[in-house]
Amino acid sequence: MSVEEFMGDKNQTYDMLLKLVKTRMSVRKFRPDPIPEDTINKILEVARWAMSGANSQPWEFVIVTDPKIKKELRDAYSEYNTDFIFWMEQQREYNLRHPSYQVKNDPHESLRFNKAKANWHQAPAVIVVLGDGRRQWGTVMGAHTFGRDQSHLTDGLANASFLIHLAVASLGLTSEWVSIHVEEPHKRVLGVPDLLKLYLIIPIGYPDVPAHEGVRRPLENIVHRDRYDMSKYMSNEDVIKYLYSLREATVPIHSASRAVTADEKK
């Protein structure tokens, strides 16, 4: 079968893809309905076809459905990851901090709240994305140059992770991107060897919140033709103004999220 035959109506295929990426949502509240094993396999079948330098395929996946292990992962996340991020944010100017960490009163009380509010462990399944950097040595040496931000390992893991999110959305499910800044406690929960990278945690399930339309910067603001258009370049002052406007738009949403029930804090 030719590529043309496989693709069929290209416009229809494109429209399906655009609709998928525009309607995909990051959700932090899931219904408890279990996900069939076949559905999880379909998601990972898409992920394993991700791009990677020299086709080294550095990814591995841990599927967690055991409630006890999911909670242990969440507890490790709250105790170490949240603690680290919270105190780092306190070093920023107040209005530029992430809204979740804008503290006016007792910071320790706010920290306790932020540690308690993470509830992604209640998703029926969690996909943990691992990376084996030894596999990625199949690519060019320049991709591992220290300090040049050219890691083909994280490139490949990001590619696989995004395909997971798209596959999840295509199957009528939803997901969350849980960034891991402190890997070691999560590795200990799962028995992951020290040499591997624990890149990301992706809770998946059926959303327990209504769908809403996403927001992105207009295309004309981010596209340049042939050469960089300096009229679109943001000065440092422009960037600060942008960050303030970003915070102003999201602070009310995060403030509302502080009305957490006792059940959600467990």
SS3 percent helix, strand, coil of the chain, rounded to 5, is 55, 10, 35
Contact (CB, 8 A) for 85 and 181: yes
Q: Following DSSP, what letter does each residue of 70-128 receive, concatenated?
A: HHHHHHHIIIIIIHHHHHHHTTS-GGGS-GGG--SS-HHHHHHHHHHH--GGGSSEEEE
- State the total domains in the chain: 1
Does 2 reside within a domain? no
Return the DSSP state at 17: H
Question: Which mean pLDDT values do the consecutive 10-residue runs of the chain (266 residues) have?
Answer: 66 90 87 95 98 95 98 96 93 89 85 87 97 90 69 93 96 94 97 96 92 86 96 96 88 54 43
Tokens 């599927």: give the residue: 63
Does 221 reside within a domain? no
Does 196 reside within a domain? yes
Return the DSSP state at 30: B
d(CA 77, CA 116): 10
Q: Following DSSP, what letter does each residue of 173-209 receive, concatenated?
A: -EE--EE-S--HHHHHHHT--TTSEEEEEEEEE-BSS
Does 191 reside within a domain? yes
Q: How far is CA 26 from CA 8, 48, 65, 187, in A?
A: 30, 21, 20, 24
The pLDDT assigned to 266 comes to 44
Does 244 reside within a domain? no
CATH number at residue 189: 3.40.109.10
Predicted structure pTM score:
0.87
Identify residue 227 by its one-letter amino acid code: R
**Among the listed residues 252, 161, 150, 253, the one whose alpha carbon sits nearest the alpha carbon of residue 199:** 161
Does 265 reside within a domain? no
The pLDDT assigned to 11 comes to 83
Does 136 reside within a domain? yes
The pLDDT assigned to 1 comes to 56
Rg (CA), the chain: 20
Does 255 reside within a domain? no
Domain enclosing residue 206, as ranges: 25-214
